[in-house]
Amino acid sequence: MNQLVRAKDYIRAFFEKYGKYLDWVLRFVFAMILYMVIIFMTGYRSAVSSPFIAVLLAAIAAFLPPGMTSVIACALIVVEMTAVSIEMAAVSMIFISVMLLMYYVFRMGDSFLMSASLLFCLFRMPALILPMALLFPPLKIIPVIFGIVLYGIIIVVRKDFSVLASRSSLTLAGRINLFLGDFFTNERLLLVLLAVVLSMLVIYAFRVSRLNKAAMVSMIVGDVLFGSIMIFGNHFMNAGISYSMLALSLVLNAVMAFVIITFRFNFDYKRAEDVQFEDDEYYYYVKAIPKTRVSMSERRVENISQRDNADLPVRETEDINTGGVFRTRETEDTPGED
């Protein structure tokens, strides 16, 4: 455990030193993967369906405010839908405009959650969304829902592409009715939405409880609930869920949760204390759980003075901890001086 704490301190010091550049790199890589997956899942308009366009858009998004990554992803989806039909582009634009309006009017923040939810769902691993409940309050579930809705638009159009792109089989109103009907009754979309929202709420409820190791318990309960909903829902609704992908996503979910718990919720429950105190009006009952820390190195004093050179200064070394990086500081003390 001490090695993990030391590693956390080193990583924190590294990010404090190079965080600005790492932020650009990580945002570029994330945006590039997201745009490439969107292009792969749609690919209806050849003018924008190329890896070069994905790299170019990711490079632009890396130097813009973080919220623009999601906005560019939404614009890319709308552009792809124009190749299907103008009606699908208009309906997608209305859905996306309402979501972005709600997002920016109510200032929900963390647009990364929308993009990450969309990406994980496109990879058919919605369980990777659940560890976010360890870091964010319940209000942040709304951007997650928006990401799942974008995923629903993509899979419904992909499913009905041959009919929606045909000008002869259905009228304008018929294509819109077909899309809306399949969107609001799509079993996979409804199942993923239900499982993710309920599991994240349960994870948050357990995380803020007074249980020992509440973060770990919350993830275990949330993962069991998510897996149960997906398995039973797929059995009764025939949603086409792949059990192998579900198992893989739960394994990766456990890895992500372990990393978050280690670096964010690293507490020493062995020294937990229930503290009680009072003032003139209230009694206070507090459960104090100290953080796990690596103890500071004790001072080492090395005396190199000899009998024949007693007037030489005494040199002492002291180990100090600066953000997880241990350095040695030397001080001199001349004998006989105050």
Show pLDDT as tens, one digit a residue, over the chain (338 residues).
566 666 666 777 776 777 777 888 999 999 999 999 999 998 888 888 888 999 999 999 988 888 889 899 999 999 999 988 888 899 999 999 988 888 776 665 677 889 999 999 999 999 999 999 988 888 889 889 999 999 999 999 998 888 888 776 778 888 888 899 999 999 999 999 999 999 999 999 998 887 878 889 999 999 999 999 999 999 888 888 889 999 999 999 999 998 888 877 766 555 666 778 788 888 887 777 676 655 544 445 555 555 555 555 555 555 555 555 445 555 555 555 54
**Is 82 found in the same domain as 201?**
yes
Q: Which of the 8 DSSP states describes residue 267?
A: B
Is 147 inside any structural domain?
Answer: yes
- Number of Cβ within 10 Å of residue 78's Cβ equals 18
Q: Residues 204, 305: one domain?
A: no
Is residue 286 assigned to a domain?
no
Cβ neighbors of 55 (< 8 A, separation 6 or more) are 32
- The answer as to whether 276 is a domain residue is no
Q: What is the pTM of this model?
A: 0.76
Last residue of a domain, one of 267, 286, 306: 267
Tokens of 329: 């500081």
Residue 23 belongs to some domain of the structure: yes
Q: Which long-range contacts (CB under 8 A, 24 or more apart) does 189-194 make?
A: 189/148, 189/151, 189/152, 189/155, 189/156, 190/237, 190/239, 191/229, 191/230, 191/233, 191/234, 191/237, 191/239, 191/241, 192/121, 192/126, 192/148, 192/151, 192/230, 193/145, 193/148, 193/152, 194/229, 194/233
Shared-domain flag, residues 151 and 242? yes
Residues 210 and 109 in one domain: yes
What range defines the domain where residue 198 resides? 15-267
273 occurs within a structural domain: no
**Count of other CB atoms within 10 angstroms of residue 68:** 17
Within a domain: residue 290?
Answer: no
Residues 303 and 181 occupy one common structural domain: no
Instruction: Kindly state whether residue 308 falls inside one of the protein's structural domains.
Output: yes
- Count of domains in the chain? 2
Length of the chain in terms of residues written = 338
Residues 187, 242, single domain; the answer is yes
In a domain, 5, yes or no: no
